[in-house]
A = this chain, B = another copy of it.
């Protein structure tokens, strides 16, 4: 069963890893948000791509969910010694990724091809596909001023109220042919439990992506990143509240109204089932919180079964 997953960082990467375990090698393509990519000390850093890559390669730091396991920070300490503010924790292994990516991008290799080369070298058999090859930046407007996403997310620890979210450069982005191809062959599209505003949002905002998904006949299913009114990971809950969305599975489902055919919620939120159904979606309730690798694969298999049921 060929499947396309749409994903942001940690939460999305976990379900993607579950899908990779549940499917035959090569049958999974993950379309990843790149709107939180940024330049740091001249290096192109792609946090979501790397989280997905390290997770699918089995080298991710399991405690944090991002970065490489057994990481050291020797270069970063030296960067600090040179007087730089080392607010973004780039590990030594991780640096290798950014160095090689930056070199290849400067040689006009596309981000898609660069990512395929790096992921392939790490033994990843799934396709990790950037949502676009053009640079896009998530810009967060806060009472303290306008921040790039990683400044808001990492440097300032998500402490600012979010007044608005803009995607700088999105109008110049195009759906890469590799993403078009993957969707055209897919038997299901899974929206991973990632932040609907700053992870899945940018993916859907790439010009042409909406039409591509609207014309896609096989099932599209989203997994809620909100359980019991809280984000499983990251600032999705605070961000939804700030932007006057309901902080619930239903609030997320409303954002996907008309886009997905099915919605997966946690059993904890079962009472929301009727309301979400009323949005025109099939609803499946299960244990949607992934504590370990067994959870990921079990949830992935359930999601795939749910998709198969919708496609029948």
Whole-angstrom CA separation of A82 from B50 in the bound complex: 14
- Tell whether A274 is near chain B: CB-to-CB under 8 Å: no
Closest chain-B Cβ to A97's Cβ sits at a distance in Å of 7
Question: Contact size class for A?
Answer: 20 to 34
Known: A81-B121, A96-B82. A103 touches B41 (CB 8 A): yes
Contact at B102–A78, with CB atoms within 8 Å?
no
Contact at B103–A75, with CB atoms within 8 Å?
no
- Tell whether A95 is near chain B: CB-to-CB under 8 Å: yes
- Tell whether A145 is near chain B: CB-to-CB under 8 Å: no
Contact at A84–B100, with CB atoms within 8 Å?
yes
Closest chain-B Cβ to A234's Cβ sits at a distance in Å of 26
Contact at A96–B118, with CB atoms within 8 Å?
no
Whole-angstrom CA separation of A76 from B75 in the bound complex: 11
- Tell whether A122 is near chain B: CB-to-CB under 8 Å: yes
Contact at A121–B78, with CB atoms within 8 Å?
no
Whole-angstrom CA separation of A76 from B118 in the bound complex: 15
Within A83-100, the residues touching B (CB, 8 Å) are: 83-84, 92-93, 95-97, 99-100
Contact at A82–B41, with CB atoms within 8 Å?
no
Whole-angstrom CA separation of A97 from B83 in the bound complex: 12
- Tell whether A79 is near chain B: CB-to-CB under 8 Å: yes
Contact at A75–B102, with CB atoms within 8 Å?
no
- Tell whether A291 is near chain B: CB-to-CB under 8 Å: no
Contact at A95–B81, with CB atoms within 8 Å?
no
Chain multiplicity (copies): 2
> Quick one: which of B43, B83, B93 contacts A78, CB cutoff 8 A?
B93
Contact at A75–B100, with CB atoms within 8 Å?
no
> Quick one: which of B42, B95, B118 contacts A106, CB cutoff 8 A?
B42
**Interface flags, A97-116, vs B, CB<8A=1, else 0:** 10110110010000000000
Closest chain-B Cβ to A90's Cβ sits at a distance in Å of 9
Chain B residues positioned under 8 Å from A92 (CB to CB) = 72, 74-75, 78, 92, 95
> Quick one: which of B77, B84, B96 contacts A75, CB cutoff 8 A?
B96
**Interface flags, A1-33, vs B, CB<8A=1, else 0:** 000000000000000000000000000000000
Which of A43, A75, A122 has the largest count of B CB atoms less than 10 A from its CB? A75
Contact at B99–A43, with CB atoms within 8 Å?
yes
Whole-angstrom CA separation of A81 from B53 in the bound complex: 14
**Interface flags, A42-62, vs B, CB<8A=1, else 0:** 110000000000000000000
Can you spell out 5 A-B residue pairs with CB atoms less than 8 angstroms apart? A41-B100, A42-B103, A76-B96, A78-B96, A82-B121
Spell out A's residues near B (CB within 8 Å): 41-43, 68, 72, 74-79, 81-84, 92-93, 95-97, 99-100, 102-103, 106, 118, 121-122
Closest A-B pairs by Cβ, 7 of them: A42-B103, A78-B96, A74-B92, A78-B93, A75-B92, A79-B96, A82-B121
